[in-house]
């Protein structure tokens, strides 16, 4: 019988009990994958991080688990872990932090109270198994409330991206289990990211979003950095094709409002950023710590 210490954080927010919840276990080298999965299931948060001992100055291996599976990459665990390491004084904010999840190394910097990382992979776009009509039926909306055909986008974790007409449509989602089973569960992406473009100008694009997935039943996520990155990569690609230029795209994504856990995710692409890659940044608060007993 051994014990494993963890920290609780609220991520993509600067207010306690808002944003997306995260647990981070430090010094997790002695835990095997099955124990990590069991601990993540026990805590039952959207994601739980297991951090290994530093492999060099400001370099840490990282594994990410949902209650049912390991993920190659996720945004709010990256931002939350980076903020925790800085808060505990384990890294130097003036130097680049490198986290090492399965998707590849993520370089992280700190500015204005936010942790910022650049995706390890360029945004990859593929056709969705949903079309305009089936997307509307999936969401319980009229066809006029869905804009265009969905697309699958990924910066390491794939999502069906579906643009909606307005906030009213976003607020009145009723997922069809039958359409989900037929068109989503059988696809390469088992997450659906819905978004509305509220305002857009040369300075910033403001969006509202919701993310749905299936773990043990249909669930909604309060803040999904990997989805915001995929969406930003898609919008940047679309912008470049339409204007034939790679003007910088800066986004502010509001998510979790309908859940009562509002979050804010800042993303950017194009301009000085390597084509295809996306930066993601946000705040996080440490709100608690605990110890779980493990039996190995």
d(CA 81, CA 107): 13
Please provide residue 70's backbone torsions phi and psi, each rounded to the nearest 5 degrees. Answer: -90, 140
Could you tell me how far CA 174 lies from the centroid of its own chain? 22
Look at the chain and count its residues: 296
Alpha helices in the chain (DSSP H): 33-43, 75-87, 132-139, 167-171, 177-179, 225-243
- Which residues sit opposite 127 in a β-bridge? 151
Out of 5, 42, 47, 215, which one is annotated catalytic? 47
How wide is the angle at C-alpha 58 spanned by C-alphas 48 and 42, nearest 5°? 10
Q: Could you confirm whether 177 is annotated as catalytic?
A: no
d(CA 227, CA 220): 13
Enumerate the active-site residues. 47
């Amino acid at each position: 019988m051994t014990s494993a210490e963890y920290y609780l954080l609220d991520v993509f927010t600067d207010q306690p009990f808002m944003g997306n919840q995260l647990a981070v276990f430090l010094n997790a080298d002695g835990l095997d994958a099955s124990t990590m999965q069991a601990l993540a299931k026990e805590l039952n948060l959207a994601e739980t991080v297991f951090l290994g001992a530093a492999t060099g100055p400001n370099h840490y291996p990282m594994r990410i688990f949902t209650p049912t599976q390991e993920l190659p990459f996720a945004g709010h665990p990256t931002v939350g872990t980076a903020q925790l390491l800085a808060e505990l004084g384990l890294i130097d904010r003036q130097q680049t932090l490198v986290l090492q999840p399965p998707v590849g190394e993520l370089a992280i910097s700190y500015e204005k109270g936010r942790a910022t990382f650049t995706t390890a992979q360029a945004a990859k776009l593929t056709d969705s198994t949903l079309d305009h009509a089936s997307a509307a039926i999936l969401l319980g909306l009229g066809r006029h409330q869905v804009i265009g055909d969905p697309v699958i986008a990924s910066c390491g974790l794939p999502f069906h991206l579906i643009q909606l007409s307005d906030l009213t449509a976003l607020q009145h989602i009723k997922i069809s289990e039958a359409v989900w089973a037929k068109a989503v569960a059988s696809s390469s992406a088992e997450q659906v990211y819905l978004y509305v473009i509220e305002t857009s100008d040369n300075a910033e694009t403001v969006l509202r979003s919701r993310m749905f997935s299936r773990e043990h039943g249909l669930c909604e996520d309060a803040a999904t950095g990997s989805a915001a990155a995929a969406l930003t990569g898609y919008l940047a690609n679309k912008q470049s094709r339409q204007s034939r230029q790679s003007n910088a795209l800066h986004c502010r994504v509001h998510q979790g409002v309908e859940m009562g856990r509002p979050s804010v995710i800042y993303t950017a692409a194009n301009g000085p950023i390597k084509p295809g890659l996306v930066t993601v940044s946000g705040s996080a608060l440490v709100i608690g710590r605990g110890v779980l007993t493990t039996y190995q």
